[in-house]
Amino acid sequence: MNRKVCIVGVGHTNFNSMTPDVSWKEFMYDACKKAYFDAGINPRKDVDSFITCAEDYWEGFGIFDEFVPDQIGATLRPCCTVCGDGIQGMANAYMQIMTGLMDTVAVEAHSKVSDLLTYGDVVLHAMDPLFEKPVSGPVERERYAGSPSYPDNNPKPLVGSTDEKERVHPYFLAGLEMQHYLRSAKVTEEQCASVAVKNKKNAFLNPYAINQADLSSEDVMSSEYLFNPLKRLDISPLVDGAICFVLAEESVAKKLGIEPIYLNGFGYSSETPWLSTRGMDAGYARQAVNMATKMAKLKDPKKALDVVEVDDRFSYKELQHIEALGLAGPGEAAQLLEEGELYKDGSLPTNLSGGSMGVGNCLEATGLQRSLEIITQLRGLAGKRQVTDAETGLAQSWRGIPSGTGAVAIFSRNPEVKT
């Protein structure tokens, strides 16, 4: 069966740290409505299947599937929920279309994390209860609570502790992993700080990025340590928002008169969430990109890719992910950054959207955030951040602490990637 899958419509809301005037249903509706308009379709007639990427713990209630269809146009239609990142949802949509049973599939992902008062506790619940949860030492409530970049404003005491200044936050794992990365790749904290500087400046050119800032590496280095060696400005802030992609078989795109962006390959990997039984080298990204490049028949990603978006929820993660994707050797990503190769006019433009540092950490919608920038670039609609003659791009996602789950998607303006 010689079927090819394309992106024919995209829609998204704004991304904001607090959205008390909008419900999650309104977020989903707004993003999907824009995507259907962009594709020029009627969801009640033209979409064969609907997918939402969501996790019950983020939503605050069980069996989220029951609350999905109304606002995305899927009432009494085939609809399912993928408990994973948006790129994993796109992979599911691709497979549905390749069966021949579906021609058009909508994929939605969102975050309404501002409604969640116990973000840290939810993440902590996913960790090993005996060896990982109790590792973090005393933390001062007065110092961290209320910080706009700190991911949880509801501190909890350690189990069995009566000291109100003692608490656990799962981001201590990111601090440990950053320590490992700095040692193994021989990278410095200052080089990681440069990632935050670059991405927050990139965000100035992105109309839907709200965390833009004109910082220096000294500004990042002087921000307070939260999870040594992670500092406040090394951590991407949480945001609310929703994104919807419409995927379709190539013939549908031609009927709609849309110049398609092809999904040439994808890959995903889920390692164990237990830190004691996995490494700290982002193996999920390496496994996912191997699957994606094989599917896309992409022999030399370094030469073929014109633009890249990788997960940067913590500053070091951008460098670590670039290396895990095989786009640089150990420690080389930091050198590429220093040489300007990760900027718009460099050889490997990375996170021109601002990444999660500039746009914000959108939970399960983060993979679609990264993919949104790739689609915008390949459509030639990125404005002042546009990469000239961009034809092929890669988006990479990670589900965050403590998971070892990641995904990769390769997009191109051509049905076959030019290598």
One-character DSSP codes across 105-160: EEEEEEE-GGG-TTHHHHHHHTS-TTTTGGG-----HHHHTT-TTSS-SS--PPTT
Indicate the pairing of strand 404-412 with strand 79-82.
Answer: unpaired
Q: What span, in angstroms and rounded, lies between the C-alpha atoms of 364 and 254? A: 31
Please tell me the number of Cα atoms within 13 Å of 222 on its side-chain side: 5
State which amino acid sits at residue 262: Y
Query: What is residue 118's predicted lDDT score, i.e. its pLDDT?
Result: 86
As a 3-state breakdown, the chain gives helix, strand, coil percent values, each rounded to 5, of 40, 20, 40
Q: Which two tokens stand for residue 178?
A: 């950053």
Non-local CB neighbours of 157 within 8 Å, separated by 6+ positions: 163, 164, 166, 167
Task: Write the pLDDT tens digit of every residue in 53-97.
Answer: 999 999 988 888 889 999 999 999 999 999 999 999 999 999 999
| CA neighbor of 371 nearest in space, from 218, 247, 232, 235 | 247
- Specify burial of residue 313 (Cβ count, 10 A radius: 0-12, 13-18, 19+): buried
Q: Where are the beta strands (DSSP E) in 272-359?
A: 307-309
Neighbours of 339 (CB within 10 A): 11
Q: What residues of the chain score a pLDDT lower than 50?
A: 137-150, 152-166
Is the whole-model pTM more than 0.85? Answer: yes
> What is the CATH topology of the domain spanning 5-114+238-412?
Peroxisomal Thiolase; Chain A, domain 1 (3.40.47)
pLDDT at 163: 43
**Position of tokens 């399912």?**
80
Q: What's the confidence (pLDDT) of residue 148?
A: 41
How high is the pLDDT of residue 132? 79
Q: Are strands 104-111 and 49-53 parallel, antiparallel or unpaired?
A: parallel
